[in-house]
Each structure stands twice: as structure tokens, then as C-alpha cells.
Structure 1
Amino acid sequence: MSESTILANAIKSNAWPFLEAKKILDQIGNVTPAKGYVLFETGYGPSGLPHIGTFAEVARSIMVRQAFSQLSDIPTRIFCFSDDMDGLRKVPSNIPNPEMVVQHLGKPLTSVPDPFGECESYGHYMNSKLRSFLDKFGFEYEFFSSTDCYKSGMFDKMMLKVLEKYDEIMALMLPSFREERRATYSPFMPICPKTGIVLQVSIIKTDLKSATITYQDDIGNYIETPVTKGHCKLQWKPDFGMRWAALQVDYEMYGKDHMPNARLYSEICHILGGTKPVQFFYELFLNEKGEKISKSKGNSITVDEWLQYAPLESMALFMYNNPTRAKRLHFDVIPKNVDEYITFNKKYHAETEQVKRFSNPLHHIHQSNVPVIETFGISFSLLLNLVSVCNPENKSIVWGFISKYNSEATPESVPYLDHLIDFAICYYNDFIKANKSYITPNSKQNIILQEIVVMLSALPIDITAEQVQEKIYDIGNKHGYENLREYFQELYQILLGQTEGPRLGSFIKLFGIKETINLIKQRLHIPKLSIL
């Protein structure tokens, strides 16, 4: 396929990364910016361990960058910026040695000792965790530390510009605060030379000629301090806009909680002589209680936790889907996303139209290089239920069932499926095993299950999973179930000890007809039927 055809198909695509990329091209007039490239920025506040929301912002930004590169040959760069010069406001609940950290509240994150005892500082440790899981996925990015940018003088030009435009910035910011906050607000936060704490104090005097500000300390002394070389940093709202102007950012996405301040970021960028970037807001991830996930509370799934139970690409799919819709992020979503990944993979490689491939999430997750996987029609949910029934100590037991189901399936011929079995066993042991709750069948259910046994005993060997499903379905209809979902839930609870499960036809074909008959007898202690 020619490059011009690929480009035409990309332009037609309505996948959200392409739509965002088109906005960038429109803003720059399809011309390379004077700096020589289009800059994508993504930010991170390392006040606590990075969670999946952090990973999502970077992953999504990279997806847009990739889409942009398919629409244009204009060079691009992506900066991952850590706000590690912010003062530590509170001690997260999920770190060791909190008593040590609490003694350094208010100091820049890169001036707080590392409670894990591994890095130069608290901020350096959190930065290393961020970079390690970005590297794990093979992301290409350039890392920037706020501390390094301020102290190296990289932001000095803009800090002087903020000093020059001090009154204009104050006029913009003050109406956004309550009266008591207005009395003490300043965009500059000096670093106390005695304590090292990031101060939020009133600025008594600004001096552009000497590039200093003057404030009064807690004992009444007047302190004059430079605004350059990291002696001061900016409040987070002016800092946001300042970075856009200093780095000439062309695209940035942020969480919905930033939306009320987006106008301020943009106007500060304009005041400082910059052009506001194309912006995209995403909805926040919520925990199982519907609460916003938080780094300091640790009330979410970490990247490492997700990777204990599922492949990384399943997590990337969760991030890709519906970024402007709030989604609950808890362990129950993992199996669904693994199965959706398998389904999208099959669709991608079966699709011949490039436009439709561009709309497939996997095109953006894998940056156009989508691997071919094979599971012989076995979903992750189906594996979980197989594991739930056979309760294996090792995966060779699971492979025994799979090999009978399909003689071509081996760990060597389907390595992806072999990998999923490891995840399924781990997920079962941690989330399903302890929560099983079987019900004892009543007289009606007992009759139904005996009929299922009789039906299964008479099936030909070559019957399909769909045909088995239809026969089970017919038995439910025969016994007057108006709500067949309720019928299948009862079967799941009796046989699997859970309210949800796979299509029973698929499960029976994988587990085995004789094995299913024995399972029913074990659960019900059904007397041996004459037909058997």
C-alpha cells in the first residue's frame, strides 16, 4: 500500500488519536514550527507512587503522537515532565518510614529523604518508578525534572518574564480566589534559605532590575531572594502556563480536575508571549467505591499489580477506550479487558480495510505493529472458570483439559495462551477462590440438572459449543424461566460457586462432557441414572 493511500485512510479515521492529531495540524497550519518539531508534553506529580492514571496520560499522549506521525512528516518530541520541586504537603499512607518523611513536610520532593532507602531523595525514587514502568512498555520519551529545569536556569528567562508581567498575572489570578487567599497570594514561591521549605508568602516588593522579590519571614525579617536558578518556583497554575511558553508546547492532555483552570493556564502562557497548546481533557479513574483514585491514598491498582494478573496490553486497552468517560478501576475489570484485547486482535488481522484497522484500538496501542496471537477460541474468562473448577496446583493440569479440547494446542504452539494460564491461576487464587459461594439446588433445580446430565450423556462427540449452549437454553425455557439470565446465574452458583460465568456450551466443550457430568454429580450427589 502506498504512503499516499495510508495517509488518505488515516485522514478518514475517526479514532480519537487521529482526531486529536488533526487538531494539532490545524493549529500549526500544517507547517513545521520554528523550533523544528511539534512538542507533546505530559506531566506527573511525584507526591506518591505512580498509579495507572499516570501511565494512562503518557500512553494516551504517545498514541496521539503516533497518529500525528502518520498524518504528517513533521518531526515530533514528547517530554514527560515531573513536578518534583513541589513541596510535600502530606505523607502518603502507602510508603514505609512515614515518621521520617513527616519531618520534611513542605520541602521540595527532591529535598525529602527517600523512605525506601534506594535513591537520592523521595522525588528521585518516585521519578525512577515512573520511568521504569514507562520503559517497561517501550515508550519513547524525554524525561524532565522540574528541580533540574529551575536550578539549571532553563526557566530563568521565563521567570524574569513572570517578574516583568507580575501585575498582569496577579490581576488574572486574584479573582479566582477567595478573599483570604487573595491577601497572601503570589505566583512566586521562594525556597526558604534556612529551612528549605517551599514558602507561600505575600510578596512585598518585586525588582525587575535586580531580578529579585522581597518577602517577610515568620519572625518579621525582610528577605530578598532571586527568582532565578531555583531560588523560587511558581505556584502550580502559573507554573503550568509558564512551561507551555518556555518549552513551546504544542499538545497537552490533562485530567478533568484541571478543566476549571485551563483558561488560566492558557492566558498565562499568552501573557508570557507563548501560544497555548492544543488541549485534551480526560475523565478520571475511580475506585470500586466511585471515588477518585489518589497517589497519596494508594486507593487504586498500580501498574505492577495489574501486571500480576494480565498482560500489559490489556491495561493499555483499558486506557485507550473512552478517555472522556469516567471509568471504575478495580480488579474486576481485568478479565474483561483481556478478553476485549483478544477480540480486537482477531478483528484487526481479519480486517482488510485500512480505515477500519486505524479505528481498531490495537493499532494505537501497538503503534501500528500489532502482533498475531492465537488462543484457539479460549477466552480469559473461560480459562478462569476452568481453573476455578479444576483448582490446579500447576498449569499442566489446565493444559491437560486444553489438549483434549484441541490436540494442536500446546504451550509451544500457542505461547500467548500459555502466558494467560499463568495469569488466570494467579487471578483465581487471589480473587475468586476465597469468594466462592455455592448454593444447594432446590427440587426444581435438581430436576433441571438431572435433565442436563441426561442431555449431555446423549451428545455426539462432534457437537459444537453453540449447539450445547442451545440445548441448555432449551431446558431453561422448558421449565418456564422468563429471565434466562437468572437461570444461568443459578447454574453458575451451583456448579462454579459464583454468580457470573462463561457461555456454558463453551465451558463444557473445554472442560469435557464426561467431566461436566461428574461435576454435576459431585455438586448434587445425583443417584446414578439408568441411562448412564
Structure 2
Amino acid sequence: MSANPDLRTVRAWPFEEAAKLADRLAAQGKSAALLETGYGPSGLPHIGTFGEVARTTWVRRAFAAMTGLPTRLIAFSDDMDGLRKVPDNVPNKEMLAEHLGKPLTRIPDPFGTHESFGHHNNARLRAFLDAFGFEYEFASSTDYYASGRFDAALLRMLALHEEVRAVILPTLGPERRATYSPFLPIHPKTGVVMQVPMDETRPERGTIVWTDPATGERFETPVTGGACKAQWKADWALRWYALGVDYEMSGKDLIDSVRLSSRICQVLGGTPPVSFTYELFNDEFGQKISKSKGNGLTIEQWLEYGPPESLAWFMFASPGSAKRLHKGVIPRAVDDWMAGVEKLRAAPDPANPAWHIHAGAPPAEKLPPISYATLLNLAGIAGTDDPQRLWAYIRKYYPEAAPEHEPMLDRLVHNACAYWRDWIAPERRFRAATPEEAEAMRELVRLLRARAAEFAALPAGPVREAAIQDAVYDAGRRPPFAVANKDGTLGVGRAWFQALYEVLLGKSEGPRFGGTIAIMGIEEACAMIEAALARESAPA
């Protein structure tokens, strides 16, 4: 990829980060960038995993476009960590409990599909990343330690043992301070990752001496060859130093860890990578998301209700600011993503999030001609989660459309049906129209039928939908809905549209109503309004 220094001026956070990364490489005289993202394989990949890898990927692409220099992205699995507790969502928990404290790659796989629990979760991580098309190199902590790739860095940390301890000790309480060492030997008999004080450090021999607190037995363990690993803050620094990592981002909860690991990296003689701190997600009420509370949104849920690109769109915006992650953000993210792709097709603007999501070029696949919000409306009008019912509406408006010809639209139809079934249908609350609302809705029916031939003569799409929307406005230009515009003309207040949604669809808001009427058909829309007005009261 050729360099484009002008991209430094693009007002998009990945380019701002890429500029910092370019400055680092220039200062160090490097000609290639190494970016890293970490993963703790004691659990399964989740929506945060997607966010971190996606955001790092966008910085990587921005850097490559800006500088033309080669890059690598390592997805590093901390699979040599000891298992601290048995996860809730695995089989054979009793078996796992017998192996607590051992490295994840030395614990049998409770699923029975891989050589270890760590290997199983690593495979899940790789399948997860591959499913989204991420480009990365997988790295296993176990492999790196056992193969000797960290040996030189471990020996240096051993030689600087007290200097490294001096970085961490002020952050610990008195009891932990007395026992802390950056090294965790693997017990040669039990296989457990030991957190014990060092009796001696022997840099000249490349070993540490420690005592098993349960038996009193003393051991001399090499720090090399996978017989020992580093405590996690020291481990992070060790990795940066040994591999020459240039860029890594992490969540707000790790700010102190980044600071300490950076200082240890400097003690070892390295330069810490450029770091970026992203905010964590809150739920719809602004509370911190917690697995135990179950108040978050899983990636599986998002992908049931929206395409992965919509999740990427949501992740892209303002990663340094706290955002609420809940079901309600999905419809807008889907429609905003599709609008972003249309803008990208019109102009390859690198400030457009779609530029980053789609690697600088819009997808070849045809975008749906119907918004996600309109599909949700159609599902509500039909009162169904059956995709075939929605397709019946769509084919009336777009006769040439079919699932086999519009695969993206078909996926979106299935997403919308699932979303309507799980989140909208259970919360719908219809109400009866007030006399003023009923009068305006009857006027809307009259206008729609009077102008039906006019609408039919217009091409399907935005032109026809805008004409129908004008009829919706015209029907609402009456008390108590009419409002005066700044230019002196008569407009329509929000109350009119809220009435349409609450009386006809059982919810308080939605997209422009003209698009929904256009797709369902004039006569069917009129029949729906008349049926709603005929109700004496809202159903329970």
C-alpha cells in the first residue's frame, strides 16, 4: 500500500492513533509495525473481544494507508495462566475443579474436543475472529514460553528482579508486598502455577529458588523453557519488550496496569507501545455491565438481530466515551451503517466509519432498498415474525425482489423478524384514538385513497415514499397537531406521528410513516387505519 501523509489530517480517531504509531516508528527507526491484542482464554470470546480486535484493526488499516509500511497484528492468548475458578458455562465442572491453579493448556478439555481446556478456548477464539474476517496472527503464551522465545527477556527480568519488584511493591498491601515476585514457577510435581516468595534469585544460573508452603520442599526452577511464567503485569511488559510491540489498546479498567507494565518495560530496557484506553459499556440504565447480573448484550444476541457490520458501526463511534449497549441501539446502528455505505459509494471519505469497516471500499453486495426501521414496522403491521410474510409485502412494492436475489435484504428480514418477536411484540401497548386523532386519521385515509393513482404513477422508492409522506403531513395539519414553522408555513408537531404509532402499531416512535405505507400498499394501509379506529379500546 502506498503512503498518503495527507491522511494525518483526517478527523477520525483511527487516523489520530495511526499518526502516533507512525511517530513512534520514526523515532525508533523501524520500518514495520507490530500491533497486539490480548485474550484471556479461561472464558469464551465475547462482544468486548470483537470490539478490541475491530478497533485495533481499524488503527492498523489507517496506519498502512497513511505510511505504506507493513504491519502485523498478533492476537495473543494468555493460555499459560492458572485456572482460578471453574466457569459457569462448561460441562464436567467437577473434573475442572480438580485442576484449579494449573495452566489452561495443562487442564483436560471439559468438552472433550481438544487436547486441553486452553486449546479448546483458543480454537473458539480463532473461529470467532475468522468468522468476522479479521486478519491476525495467533500467538499462544504456552508456545512462546516453552519454545524459548521469551528466554532472553526472562533472563533479563531475573537480572533486574529487584528493580522490577520496586515498580510493583508500592501498589501492594503489606502482606502481599512481603511475598511478591514477578516470577510464577510451575510446580514440578503438581503442575500448579505457584504464587510464592523467592528464597533466592540466581541470575548466573538462570534460576529461582522457592519453597512449597504446603510441604516445605525447596525447588530450584529455571525461569526459561516454560518452567516458569511472569505475573501478569510483568508478563505484559515482558511481551512488549521481547516482541517489540508498537501498539496495544485496553479498557479503562486496566489504566493502572498499563502504567505499571510500561514502567517495567522501561526497566527491562524497552519502549512501551503506544497505548489507547477505551471506555467500557454500560447497560440501558447507565449501570456497569456485569456477567453475573446478566444486564449486558451478548454478541450472539446482536447478530441475531443485526448484521456484524452494524455492530462494527456501533463500536466505531467515540471509543473513548462511555456508551450504553442494549437492544435499543441495534435498529439505529443497522440503518446508520447502511447510510454510511451509501455515502462511501458516493465518495471514498476516510472520515466515514464505513471506510474503516469495509477497508476503504464499499461492499460489492447490494444494500437493501428498505430500512431496518421500516422492516420492523412491517413486522408490527403484519403481527408476525415470519420472514415470508414480510417478503410478501416487499414483493408487492418491489416485484423483482426475491430472497435469492437480495441476500442482504433477506438476512435483514430475518433479523427484523427476530427483533420484533423478542423485543417489540411483548412491549406493544395499543391505545384508542382521541376524537381529534381519529378525525385526522380518517382524513389520512381519504387523502391516501384520493391520491392513490398519483402515487402509483411514481417510481417505487424514495420519490413515491416522499409523496405519501406529504399526505401524512397534510392530514396532520389541523388542531391540535399543527404548528407554525419559522418561515410562517403550517407544519405538523410530533404529537401527530406519536399518535399514529401508538394507535396503529402499539409503540411510541418509528421511521417516516410514508415508507411503511408505500411498501404495505395504500388500500391495506387504509384498512389498517380503519380497523384501528373501529376498536372501542386498546387490547390488553
Say yes or no: TM over 0.5: yes
Q: Are the equivalent residues in 2 in contact too, given 1:17–1:63 (CA < 8 A)?
A: yes
Shift of 1:299: 5.4
| Aligned residue number for residue 479 of structure 2 | 479
For residue 16 of structure 1, the aligned residue among 9, 13, 33 is 13
Corresponding residue SS for 1:238: helix
**For residues 402 and 124 of structure 1, do their structure 2 counterparts lie closer, same or farther at Cα, with a shift above 3 Å needed?**
same
CA distance in 1, matches of 2:284, 2:95: 32
Corresponding residue SS for 1:116: coil
Deviations 1:433-480 (A, max 9, x none): 333222233444433433333333323433443344344345445232
| Aligned residue number for residue 23 of structure 2 | 26
**For residues 499 and 197 of structure 1, do their structure 2 counterparts lie closer, same or farther at Cα, with a shift above 3 Å needed?**
farther
| Aligned residue number for residue 237 of structure 1 | 233
| Aligned residue number for residue 133 of structure 2 | 138
Shift of 1:287: 3.5
Which is further off, 36-45 or 473-482? 473-482
Corresponding residue SS for 1:341: helix
**For residues 448 and 256 of structure 1, do their structure 2 counterparts lie closer, same or farther at Cα, with a shift above 3 Å needed?**
same
Shift of 1:264: 1.2
Corresponding residue SS for 2:4: helix
Matched, 1:154 2:149: yes
| Aligned residue number for residue 244 of structure 2 | 248
Tell me which stretches of 4 or more aligned residues in structure 1 moved more than 6 Å: 295-298
Shift of 1:286: 2.7
Q: Which runs of 5+ in 2 are unaligned?
A: 456-463, 484-491
Matched, 1:188 2:183: yes
**For residues 486 and 236 of structure 1, do their structure 2 counterparts lie closer, same or farther at Cα, with a shift above 3 Å needed?**
farther
**For residues 299 and 165 of structure 1, do their structure 2 counterparts lie closer, same or farther at Cα, with a shift above 3 Å needed?**
farther
| Aligned residue number for residue 422 of structure 2 | 430
Which is further off, 95-104 or 11-20? 95-104
Deviations 1:99-123 (A, max 9, x none): 3333332222222332333222222
For residue 38 of structure 1, the aligned residue among 15, 33, 38 is 33
Matched, 1:497 2:493: no
Matches within 5 A, 1:8-157: 8-29=5-26, 33=30, 37-157=32-152
Matches within 5 A, 1:320-335: 320-335=316-331
Matched, 1:509 2:523: no
Task: Using CA pairs under 8 Å that are at least 6 residues apart, name the structure with larger relative contact order, 1 or 2.
Answer: 1
Deviations 1:124-158 (A, max 9, x none): 22211111121112222111111111122211111
CA distance in 2, matches of 1:297, 1:238: 31
CA distance in 2, matches of 1:17, 1:10: 10
Q: Are the equivalent residues in 1 in contact too, given 2:77–2:140 (CA < 8 A)?
A: yes
For residue 342 of structure 1, the aligned residue among 338, 344, 348 is 338
For residue 378 of structure 1, the aligned residue among 356, 370, 375 is 370
**For residues 142 and 204 of structure 1, do their structure 2 counterparts lie closer, same or farther at Cα, with a shift above 3 Å needed?**
same
Amino acid at match of 1:287: D
Q: Are the equivalent residues in 2 in contact too, given 1:376–1:409 (CA < 8 A)?
A: no
- Report how many aligned residue pairs link the two structures: 518
Q: TM-score, normalised by structure 2?
A: 0.89
Amino acid at match of 1:329: L
CA distance in 2, matches of 1:102, 1:294: 24
Shift of 1:69: 1.3
Matches within 5 A, 1:456-467: 456-463=448-455, 464-467=464-467
RMSD: 2.6
Amino acid at match of 2:501: Y
**For residues 418 and 153 of structure 1, do their structure 2 counterparts lie closer, same or farther at Cα, with a shift above 3 Å needed?**
same
Matched, 1:469 2:461: no
Amino acid at match of 1:239: D
Shift of 1:297: 7.2
Q: Are the equivalent residues in 1 in contact too, given 2:384–2:421 (CA < 8 A)?
A: no
Q: Are the equivalent residues in 1 in contact too, given 2:36–2:245 (CA < 8 A)?
A: yes
Amino acid at match of 1:73: G
| Aligned residue number for residue 409 of structure 2 | 417
CA distance in 2, matches of 1:87, 1:291: 30
CA distance in 1, matches of 2:368, 2:248: 41
Corresponding residue SS for 1:461: helix
**For residues 60 and 489 of structure 1, do their structure 2 counterparts lie closer, same or farther at Cα, with a shift above 3 Å needed?**
same
CA distance in 2, matches of 1:189, 1:296: 29
| Aligned residue number for residue 530 of structure 1 | none
Deviations 1:489-512 (A, max 9, x none): 332122112223221122111222
Deviations 1:298-337 (A, max 9, x none): 7544433332222221122122221111222223222211
**For residues 486 and 122 of structure 1, do their structure 2 counterparts lie closer, same or farther at Cα, with a shift above 3 Å needed?**
farther
Matched, 1:274 2:270: yes
| Aligned residue number for residue 524 of structure 1 | 533
Matches within 5 A, 1:160-309: 160-219=155-214, 220-293=216-289, 300-309=296-305
CA distance in 1, matches of 2:373, 2:5: 38
